[in-house]
Structure 1
Amino acid sequence: MSQTRCDAFLGGRLRIEQPARGYRSGMDAVLLAAAVPARPGQSVLELGCGAGVASLCLGARVAGLVQTGVELQDSYAALARRNAAANGIALEVLTADLSAPPPALRARIYDHVCANPPYFQRDRGSAAPDPVREAAQGEATPLAAWIDAAARRLTPGGWLTLIQRAERLPDLLTALDRRLGSAEILPLSPRAGRTAKLVLLRARKGGRGAFRLHAPLVLHAGERHERDGDSYTPALTAVLRQGAALPWPA
C-alpha cells in the first residue's frame, strides 16, 4: 500500500489514514460502531478491523474501553495502529487470521465483539481487480466462521454486533447457533418505503430472548435526493457527525 489519504469522520473529530486507492471504510463502519452497546470500562474486539475506523469511532464515543482489533492484512493493520496513535485512542491491533487466532487472543474473552465482514460472495460475482480491495470486500472466510470466532471470544452475556448486506440475512441467521440468542435485526433503509440495503445484527451469548425483526431505520429524509449535500435524518446526522449512539429500538 504505497499511497494513502486522510479521511475525516464524526464531523472531523477523527482523522483517519486510508488507502488512496482500493477499499476504504465509510458510513457502514460508523454505523457499526454506533450500534455497539458498550459501556465505559468494557472490552471490545473488532474482527477484520481494517484501518481501524469502526473501533476508533467507538472509542471516540465511549471513554475507557479496552479495545482490540484483528486484521489479516499487514498493510491495514499498520494503518490501524498509526490511526489509533494519531487520534489518541487506545487500540491494540493484532495481525492474524480470525479463523486461526494466535494463542494470546485465544486466551481472552470480551464483553463485545463487532464486525463488518466482506459483503460479496465470490461464487456469485466478480473479484475486484485490486487485490487489497478484493481481500477486504470478497468473502474468503465464510460468514459462519466469523460468527463462530465471535462466539468463542465473547464472555457469557456478551454481545455480538455485525453489519451486513440485507441479501445475506439468510446466511447470517443460518450461522447463528445455540451459543448466541436474543437475536435482533435492524434493517437500514435508504429512504422511507425503500427496500433495506443493509442490516445490523445484535445477538447475545447465552441469550434466551425471542428473535426480533425491527421496523427499518430510515437513513435519508424525503422521498428522493433533491439537492446537493447530504439529506440524512436528524438521528443519522447525530450518529455520523457527532458520534452519537445509533437509535436502536427498545
Structure 2
Amino acid sequence: MSLDQPQDFVKHQTPTRDAFLGGRLIVSQPRHGFRAGLDSVLLGAAVAPGSPWLLDLGCGVGTAGLVAMSHWPDMVATLADRDKDILALTRDNAAANGFSARTTVLAVDVTAKGAERHAAGLAENAYASVIANPPFFDAGAGTLAGEGGRAGARHMDPATLDLWIKTAAGCATPGGEVIFVYPVESLSPLLAGFTQRFGAVTVLPLTPRPGQAVTRVLVRAIKGSRAPLTMLASRALHGDEGRGFLPEFDAIFRGEARLVW
C-alpha cells in the first residue's frame, strides 16, 4: 500500500511512504533504486524471540530492523549503512514509528577495515542478532538501482560477500545469531562463508509456489556453535493459483506472526 506524500530529499527524489505489517509500520524510501520489500519483512521477522541487541548491516532505510523492533518491544537496534543520504530517511523512519529511543543509526561501510568500522561506532562482539540483506545484481531485471553508489554495490562478488559475513561474525556476541537473506544463485559463496565461521547453520529455501524452483534463501548461524548444517524443507509463499499469500506468510506480512524456523 503506497502512501505517497511530497517531501524534500537530498537526491531530488520524492520518497514514497509505504505501509508494512498491515499498516503498523510506515517507511519512507526512495521512489527509484533499491526499495525494501518482502525480503526485508522476512528478515526482520526471522530474528530470535526476545533478542535484546540487534544489528542490521546495510540497513538501507531501516525496514528489516524496524520490523524486528515491532515484534520485540524491548529490543535495541543499531542500523548501519554506508549511504549517508539514505540514513537521513532511516532516522526519519525510526522517529516516525516511535523507535528513536531504541535506535542508533551509523554511517559505516560494512566492507571497511576493522579500525574504520570501530571508529564509526560499530562494536565487536556486541550484538545478539546480526541481520543483513546484502545488495545484489538482479540479472532477471536487467538493470541496476538508479543511485550510482548503490548500483556499484549491487555487483556483489564472492569476495565482497565474504567481507559482509566476516563483519557480521565480528559484531555478533558469542552464542549470537547471524541471519542473511539472499538470492539462491549466490547460495554457494554464502554457505562457504557461513560454514567457515559459524556452526548450527540453518538454510530455509523459499519458493514462489509449491513445486517451483527456490528463488531466495534465509541462512541463520550461531557464533561459536559446532552443531552441523541443517537444510530445511522449502516453503512456498503462494498457493498454486492466485496472488494471495499462504496463511503462514500472510500472517507474517501483516505483522501478526514472526517467522518460525
- Give the alignment's TM-score, normalised by structure 2: 0.86
RMSD between superposed Cα atoms in Å: 2.0
Moved over 6 A (4+): none
CA distance in 2 between partners of 1:126 and 1:20 (Å): 16
Kindly tell me: are residues 128 and 160 of structure 1, through their superposed partners in 2, closer, same or farther at Cα, counting changes over 3 Å? Answer: same
Equivalent residue in structure 2 for 1:237, among 250, 254, 257: 250
- Residue equivalent to 1:21: 32
CA distance in 1 between partners of 2:81 and 2:132 (Å): 11
Shift of 1:46: 0.6
- Residue equivalent to 2:48: 37
On the 8 A contact 2:32/2:146 being kept in 1, the answer is no
Q: Equivalences for 1:208-247 in 2 at 5 Å? A: 208-221=226-239, 223-225=240-242, 230-247=243-260
Equivalent residue in structure 2 for 1:55, among 50, 56, 65: 65
Structure 1 counterpart of 2:109, one-letter code: D
On the 8 A contact 2:124/2:172 being kept in 1, the answer is no
Equivalent residue in structure 2 for 1:201, among 203, 219, 225: 219
Q: Secondary structure at the match of 1:242?
A: coil
Structure 1 counterpart of 2:238, one-letter code: H
Shift of 1:179: 3.3
- Residue equivalent to 2:108: 96
* 95-104 or 78-87: bigger deviation: 95-104
Matched, 1:6 2:17: yes
Q: Secondary structure at the match of 2:211?
A: coil
CA distance in 2 between partners of 1:135 and 1:5 (Å): 23
Shift of 1:69: 0.9
- Give the alignment's TM-score, normalised by structure 1: 0.89
- Residue equivalent to 1:68: 78
Alignment gaps of 5+ in structure 2:
1-10
CA distance in 1 between partners of 2:229 and 2:182 (Å): 18
Matched, 1:115 2:132: yes
Shift of 1:119: 2.2
Aligned residues: 240
Shift of 1:5: 1.2
- Residue equivalent to 2:56: 46
* 233-242 or 112-121: bigger deviation: 112-121
On the 8 A contact 1:5/1:17 being kept in 2, the answer is yes
On the 8 A contact 1:23/1:136 being kept in 2, the answer is no
What CA deviation, in whole Å up to 9, does each residue of 1:82-116 have, x standing for no partner? 10000001221101111221333235611010000
